[in-house]
Chain A
Amino acid sequence: MQNAVIIKTESLTKEYVLGAETIRALRGVDLEIRKNEYVAIMGPSGSGKSTLMNLLGCLDTPTAGQYWLNSTAVAGMVDDELAAIRNREIGFVFQTFNLLPRATALHNVELPLIYGGVAAKERREKARHVLGLVGLADRMEHRPAELSGGQRQRVAVARALVNDPAILLADEPTGNLDSQTGAEIMGLFEELHSTGQTIVIVTHEHDIAEHAHRRITLRDGLVETDILQRQTVRA
């Protein structure tokens, strides 16, 4: 028996109109990602990886095509509904961390819960818990400037996890880290995956993509290859 489908897209298309020119960033992507899969998306620069991630993360809406997240059609949703989905179902990790520089690690991690309307006490507990998970139990009161790059990315991962999302999306999460620290972050992802987390990660580096169990290559806005490297763990 296969795990439940978390992400399903059908002819997902994204076009950007720049003056007279239309850039077709995605030209009809069909995808199915199941629970507890660990997917690496690769492909040359400009192939549409980030565009796809933004659509999967509900940060953007497709020009055409369908997208179901947990069997809910997302394509036609309005802003507030998308915000709620981003808040509850999606954990996004950025290449540049995007932490609040003046806030402590704890507060940064609490942020999604604030927008989710979670009470202060519960917020703190959850944030502490996930910071513990990413190995920062002793850095909760530190500000980003007082943390190393790897630690900052761990805070960002904790923030993405705090709402217990259906899927963790990471667009080049190691792009701003040295290889040693990058490997550590990948180790963290693997750990999360082993506890049942569904993960989609964009990367340029093959050894990083090695960690994933399935590798999707994009080219010119289309899926070029989709290779299952290993069987995923059953949840």
Chain B
Amino acid sequence: MKPFEALRLAIAQIRSQKLKSFFSVVGVIIGVMFLIAVISIVEGMNRYMEDDFARTIYGLNTLTVTRSPSVQMDSDREQWRQWRRRPRLTLDDASAIRAGLQTPAMVAVESFNEGRLKSDRGVEVSGVWLTAASSDFFRIREMDVDRGRLFGPQEDAAGLPVVVLGSESAEKLFGALDPLGRTVRVNDIPFQVIGVLQPQGKLFFFSLDNRAIAPARSPMGRLTNPRAVVDNILVKAADPVMLQAARHEIESIMRARHRLRPDESNSFEIETKDESMAFWQTFSRILFIAFPALVGIALVVGGMVIMNIMLMSVVERTREIGMRLAVGARRRDILLQILVESAGLSFAGAAMGIALGLGMAKLVEALSPMPAAVGVHWLVIAAVMGIVVGVVAGVYPATRASRLDPVVALRAE
């Protein structure tokens, strides 16, 4: 018998008992469904963390110098106290890094706070993300204006009260009016609007467009931090391969500025997007290890169910098998038939599981800001797993079927 005939036979058999076939593969369906759903969500999260989160918070090829780690895992009170004792970063630190770096790089500072804006029309917006930054901040963050212009180094040096608004803030404050040249009060201090940023979208549920960015030395500096203090110093190497070199240089410059002895550890942090990813990566690694184990259990159980159903099916069809042997089926034809049937059954279950899993992932995507992404290779893996489970589950029933004595089988009830 040709394998193709065995497949046709299997499909006919499975289709002739749809309900029974369905129940026999529920385990496989559930296993594969969760596999695909969770992998879609985790991979989607991964991509999101890499592409959006890390990029927004850190930027690519960018070193961020901070006083304490921005993502803290399992830190105790003592650790906190120690971080609090560290010296704050200053504008002078940034100047020293800019002056001392041999590696070609851009350097900028940024400080944050939350505040409120008030337009000259009297519209007020609160919960605004305030940023005091130096002019290279925009280039490092790869941000540009939609209208107007960004501020330059002279305006920063002079500490002029000019402000670039996020698209959402501008919209809320001025509506259809042209915001350029108008005055906006940031926590009651007047600034002149010189530009509106291109929309940045959302990070999780947090809007990136409700913000106001002004020069670090302008009054915005005081609204975000004590005088001359900054939250972060950003260093973007001209070339990604020089990131490590830049890191070492910054480390020695900062150690010198903090007058650390060789045996003392750093009193500052130098982070890249990898640090922010560390937590997520640990989490997703655990998921990727623990989860397949769970899926494995589901598939083993699913396989056992299939094996039982196939055994029952073989018993039910004893006479049929005897008849097939009588008309010339070889033992391996019977073996193949049962194996293909079992594999086909399980594969159909896996296919349903894939469809349901993708559906679940899409549902999560629709209800949350996270994208669902699943590599095609996972679909292939799931389908292959389905087939493998079926084949393994089918081996015993198929062997039993193929070993039947034709005379005995034909006499069976």
Contacts and interface: CB of A to CB of B under 8 A. Distances in A.
Contact of A83 (B12, B319, B330, B407): B330
Interface stretch (B51-59, B297-305, B321-329): B321-329
A100 B330 CA distance: 18
Contact of B324 (A57, A60, A111): A111
A33 B333 CA distance: 32
A117 interface: yes
B410 A115 contact: no
Interface string A103-124: 1000000011011110000000
Interface stretch (A86-94, A125-133, A179-187, A209-217): A86-94
A114 B319 contact: no
Interface in B306-345: 319-320, 322-333
Contact of A59 (B5, B320, B326, B333): B326
A111 B410 CA distance: 16
A4 interface: no
Given A98-B319, A98-B410, A86 B331 contact: no
Contact of A92 (B1, B326, B330, B333): B326
Contacts of A115: 1, 324, 327-330, 333
B406 interface: yes
A117 B407 contact: no
B328 A59 contact: no
Given A114-B1, A115-B1, A94 B410 contact: yes
Given A59-B410, A94-B410, A117-B1, A83 B328 contact: yes
A41 B276 CA distance: 89
Interface in A74-93: 79-80, 83-84, 86-88, 92
Nearest to B16: A102
A194 interface: no
A79 B329 CA distance: 10
Query: Which of B2, B320, B331, B407 has the most A CB atoms < 10 Å from its CB?
Result: B407
A112 B328 CA distance: 6
A159 B407 CA distance: 18
B407 A92 contact: no
B327 A86 contact: yes
Contacts of B2: 117
A92 B5 CA distance: 22
A192 B332 CA distance: 33
A176 interface: no
Contacts of A98: 319-320, 322-323, 326, 410
B164 to A, nearest CB: 74
Contacts of B12: 102-103
Query: Which of A80, A111, A114, A116 has the most B CB atoms < 10 Å from its CB?
Result: A114
A54 interface: yes
Contacts of A100: 320, 323
Contacts of B405: 60
A154 to B, nearest CB: 16
Nearest to A160: B327
Interface residues on B, range: 20 to 34
A17 to B, nearest CB: 14
A48 to B, nearest CB: 13
Contacts of B331: 79-80, 83
Interface string A127-170: 00000000000000000000000000000000100010000000
Given A102-B12, A102-B16, A116 B328 contact: yes
Contacts of B328: 83-84, 86-88, 112, 115-116, 163
Contacts of A111: 324, 327
A155 to B, nearest CB: 12
A159 B323 CA distance: 11
Nearest to B6: A114
A13 to B, nearest CB: 16
Given A100-B320, A111-B324, A117-B1, A59 B406 contact: yes
A12 B120 CA distance: 115
Contact of B327 (A60, A80, A92): A92
A219 B114 CA distance: 107
Contacts of B410: 59, 94, 98
Interface string B1-20: 11001000000100010000
A60 B330 contact: no
A114 B330 contact: no
Given A102-B16, A114-B5, A117-B1, A59 B407 contact: yes
A22 to B, nearest CB: 18
A70 B320 CA distance: 28
A75 to B, nearest CB: 16
Interface in B371-402: none
B329 A83 contact: yes
Interface in B329-363: 329-333
A114 B333 CA distance: 10
B165 to A, nearest CB: 73
Nearest to B332: A80
B408 to A, nearest CB: 9
A57 B327 CA distance: 10
20 contacts: A54-B407, A59-B326, A80-B330, A83-B330, A86-B325, A86-B327, A86-B328, A87-B327, A88-B328, A94-B326, A98-B320, A98-B326, A98-B410, A100-B320, A115-B324, A115-B327, A115-B328, A115-B329, A115-B330, A115-B333
Given A84-B330, A86-B328, 15 more contacts: A59-B406, A60-B405, A79-B331, A80-B330, A80-B332, A83-B328, A83-B331, A86-B325, A98-B323, A100-B320, A100-B323, A102-B12, A116-B328, A117-B1, A117-B2
Interface of A: 54, 57, 59-60, 79-80, 83-84, 86-88, 92, 94, 96, 98, 100, 102-103, 111-112, 114-117, 159, 163
Leading 8 A-B pairs by shortest Cβ distance: A87-B328, A98-B323, A112-B327, A115-B328, A83-B330, A59-B406, A86-B328, A115-B329
